[in-house]
Amino acid sequence: MKLKTIAMSLGLIAFGTAALAPHANAEGAFPNRPLMLAAAQNHHGVGTVTQIDRKGRRVELKHGPIKSIGWMAMTMFFEVEDADLLDEIEVGDEVDFDFIETRDKRYVITDIETRG
């Protein structure tokens, strides 16, 4: 039966998505699900390093527009996933960087390197 097969597939998809939410019970699976999916997306940007805050484990970048997240150009701080990433850069460097948006709206760089 074709319809039955589709229904079973949807059931499996729903189950699989719920299984991906590690804090589903604590936070409520359904309201947080769209943010969970957003957190998985990797964004890429290009910018200039304007400040490095080693204690705060973050870097301020003057970045260009980033369409994948709907941002205009701006200057802002990003956290870094690994503090060692801050050793790769200096103030004034032009950089390529990848980052994610967490469920609680933090922007965390997963990779950064000087251009050229």
Q: Are 49 and 89 in contact (CB under 8 A)?
A: yes
Shortest distance, CB of residue 105 to Cu ion, whole angstroms? 12
Quick one: DSSP state of residue 103? T
DSSP string, 59-90: EEEEE--BGGGTBPSEEEEEEESSGGGGGG--
Told to check if 74 binds Cu ion by CB under 5 A, we report yes
Binding mask 1-40 vs Cu ion (x if CB under 5 A, - otherwise)?
----------------------------------------
Position among 39, 76, 100, 108 found at the interface with Cu ion (CB under 5 A): 76
Give the CA distances from residue 51 to residues 9, 87, 113, in Å, rounded to whole numbers and listed in that order.
50, 13, 15
Q: Count the residues of the shown chain that bind Cu ion, applying the rule CB under 5 A.
A: 3
Q: Which is nearer to Cu ion, 21 or 107 (CB)?
A: 107
Told to check if 73 binds Cu ion by CB under 5 A, we report no
Shortest distance, CB of residue 20 to Cu ion, whole angstroms? 27
Residues interacting with Cu ion, by CB under 5 A?
71, 74, 76
